[in-house]
Structure 1
Amino acid sequence: MYNRIRENISRRVSLSAQELVEIENCARKVALKKKSRLLHSGEVCNYLVFVNTGAVRSFSADNKGVEQIVQFAFEDNWVSDLYSYVSEAPAILSIESMEDSELLLFYKEDMEKLYQTIPALERWMRLLLQNAYVRLQRRLVLSLSMPAEERYAELLQSYPDILNRVPLIYIASYLGITPESLSRIRRQLSAK
């Protein structure tokens, strides 16, 4: 159950076996069925989510209900509404499972205690947030400067199995294009 989280944390910092057990003891296991919501926008998100198995998405919705997907998170990935987590303001994102998923939640209060007892964990959090910011900034720049065809090709390169796991309507939303545009792009690429 905890092998994946141990490996994830150990890639960034070195911790003792006892420290890893302390972290595991703070993890709250959540099993979500496909299309179940973990977080609704407007709620305060006071936890970080580690995807142990399955797949989730974070997204916002406008007042007409049109969704814009911000992130896909598969096994060994983290997801949260960082704005809400850091500021303790209502979430601007929702988090929903795309597959049956097994998640580990790490509540902010527990994390703050762990930072006191395991100083290296604070470094781990800084690296985690730093990497999240870099990915978000890269995605923003690419969405502003790269044609949809190239963004789609890069998404497939980053997540080779995504077409088997994520509905095309979600992929279109993530790319910021209509499902019809995605169909056109896919036809063009398959004709090459």
Structure 2
Amino acid sequence: MFEVLFTHVTEKVSLTDEEKDMIKTFFSPKKLRKKQYLLQEGNVCKYLCFVEKGLLRSYNVDEKGEEHMNMFAWEGWWTSDMYSFFSGEKAVINIDAIEDTEFLTINAAAFEEMTLKVPKMDRYFRILFQNSLVTKERRLISAVTHSAEEKYTKLAESNPKLIQRVPQNLIASYLGLAPETLSRIRKNIALRK
């Protein structure tokens, strides 16, 4: 374990072998089976998680009991309820496994210590948080300016493996669409090809 993490980190910052060894001491490897929860709404999020293998989903449930996908996390992705993780307040999202998943966890105290002892990791996370902010901003703009078909087409072009791995009802929820709408869009696209 740690191969995917270090591949991902070294795309943004270079690490020495000594730094890698130190970083390993701050993480704990974990596994989830398909449909098991990593986090449930109302609990405090104690970990920031990095997916080494598998697929997680992050979502919230409205007062009608309908799920609304926030994000998917597959190999090389981080996930957490960031507000809960950093504030200690109760989580407002759920995270569970779409596939059997192997991941690394780090708690808030270890995160602080790691970023102090390995300053390159502080830079790495700053880059990640910047990119995440830009991505969320673009997703918000897309949600209010693009048609349903445009949203799906952009997602399919930018994440073709995600479209293959995630059930269509979850893709529809992520895009803010009814499953029937997504099915119709996919059919229309297939007919045009």
Pick the TM interval, shorter chain.
Answer: over 0.9
How do residues 166-177 of structure 1 correspond to structure 2 at under 5 angstroms? 166-177=166-177
After the TM superposition, which segments of 4 or more aligned residues of structure 1 sit over 3 Å from their partners? none
Partner of 1:69: 69
Partner of 1:151: 151
- The amino acid that maps onto 2:153 is A
How do residues 13-162 of structure 1 correspond to structure 2 at under 5 angstroms? 13-162=13-162
**Percent of aligned pairs with the same residue?**
39
2:91 alignment partner, SS class: coil
1:26 alignment partner, SS class: coil
Partner of 2:3: 3
1:49 alignment partner, SS class: strand
- Mapped to 2, the partners of 1:24 and 1:162 lie a distance apart of 28
Structure 2 segments unaligned to the other structure (5+ residues): none
What TM-score comes out, normalization by structure 1 length? 0.96
Deviations along 1:45-78, whole A, 9 cap, x unmatched?
A: 1321111001111001012210100001111111
Deviations along 1:84-105, whole A, 9 cap, x unmatched?
A: 1222211111111100110111
Give the number of equivalent residue pairs.
192
2:34 alignment partner, SS class: coil
- Mapped to 2, the partners of 1:161 and 1:11 lie a distance apart of 20
User: How far does residue 172 in structure 1 lie from its aligned partner after superposition?
Assistant: 0.5
2:184 alignment partner, SS class: helix
User: How far does residue 163 in structure 1 lie from its aligned partner after superposition?
Assistant: 3.2
User: How far does residue 162 in structure 1 lie from its aligned partner after superposition?
Assistant: 2.3
8 A contact 2:23–2:118 mirrored in 1: no
- Mapped to 2, the partners of 1:83 and 1:136 lie a distance apart of 15
Change (3 A) 1:161 1:115: closer
- The amino acid that maps onto 1:116 is L
Comparing 4-13 with 170-179, greater Cα deviation is found at 4-13
Structure 1 segments unaligned to the other structure (5+ residues): none
- The amino acid that maps onto 1:109 is A
- Mapped to 2, the partners of 1:46 and 1:62 lie a distance apart of 23
- The amino acid that maps onto 2:44 is V
Partner of 2:12: 12
User: How far does residue 154 in structure 1 lie from its aligned partner after superposition?
Assistant: 0.9
